Structure 1
Amino acid sequence: MAVSGSKEFDIKADPATVMAAIVAVDRLGEWSSAHKSVTIESTYPDGRPHRVRMVVSVVGISDEQVVDYAWDGENHMSWTLVESGQQNKQDGSYTLTPIDGGTRVKFELTIDPKIPLPGFIVKKAQKTAIDTASKGLTKFSESF
């Protein structure tokens, strides 16, 4: 059962700083407790991450994932799941919009687990990811 969710939140940092924090994929573990390890396997010519392998643990479920990142200018990034032991699909994105005093961030996430799980567990995992994206990225960006 695939679930999708999104959240908009404001960060007191300009979009360039927020994007720099997002680009620092190798530092995900500093603001996301779910990310146990992150290895950048390939980059684009500009140095931004392309293929990334990570070990994550959410609501007691551990997974090794490979995701491909895509960058659209300075205000949008997305990722797509390439390999996973626990998920059929995962798509996510960040869209940044300048606002007075900072940046409005729209975070979107769709996950589809491979094994049947109770809906409340899938929803809890998704909520955890969305909360981490908003609170963790905000704190990391504002101190970046």
Structure 2
Amino acid sequence: MAVSSTRSFEIDATPEQVMAAIAAVDRLPEWSPTHKSVTIESTHPDGRPHRVRMTVSIVGITDEQVVDYTWNGDESMSWTLVESSQQRQQDGAYTLTPKGSGTAVEFALTIDPKIPIPGFLVRRAEKMALDIAGKGLKSFTEKNYR
């Protein structure tokens, strides 16, 4: 059963600075404790990551996955799961909107595990992913890209 969630938050940085932090996919393990390793396998012509292989561990489940990233300038980024040992589907996106001197960020995530997982574990993993996307990205961006 697929589960979808969204979270909105603000970062004290420009959309260009936030997107630069998001595009630093190889640095995900620095701000996302669920990401154990990340390897960029291919890039788009502008140098931003296209196909990425990663090892992710959340609520005691480790997943080897490959995702494809799509970029829309400094406005949005999305990814789609290509292969995974633990999921049938994963789609995510960051949408950035200028707000004063900072950026409003909307993070959306849909996951569909291959194996039945108790609802409380799915909700815990979902909450962790949303918290990391908000707090981790905010801290990483404000520390490294402002």
Would you say same fold, with TM above 0.5?
A: yes
In the alignment, is residue 127 of structure 1 matched against residue 127 of structure 2? yes
Q: CA deviation at 1:119?
A: 1.0
Aligned partners of 2:40 and 2:88: how far apart in 1? 21
Q: What's 1:98 paired with? A: 98
Aligned partners of 1:89 and 1:125: how far apart in 2? 15
Q: What's 1:51 paired with? A: 51
Q: What's 2:76 paired with? A: 76
RMSD, aligned α-carbons: 0.5
Q: CA deviation at 1:72?
A: 1.1
Which residues in structure 2 correspond to 1:2-21 (within 5 Å)? 2-21=2-21
Aligned partners of 2:121 and 2:81: how far apart in 1? 20
Instruction: Give the number of equivalent residue pairs.
Output: 144
TM-score of the superposition, structure 1-length normalised?
Answer: 0.99
Secondary structure at 2:80 match in 1: strand
Q: What's 1:111 paired with? A: 111
Query: Which amino acid in 1 is paired with 2:12?
Result: K
Gaps of 5+ in 2: none
Aligned partners of 1:79 and 1:37: how far apart in 2? 17
Query: Which amino acid in 1 is paired with 2:80?
Result: T
**Partner deviation per Cα, 1:65-102 (whole Å, 9 max, x = no partner):** 00000001211000000000000000000000000120
TM-score of the superposition, structure 2-length normalised?
Answer: 0.97
Query: Which amino acid in 1 is paired with 2:45?
Result: P
Provide runs of 4+ in structure 1 moved above 6 Å.
none
Gaps of 5+ in 1: none
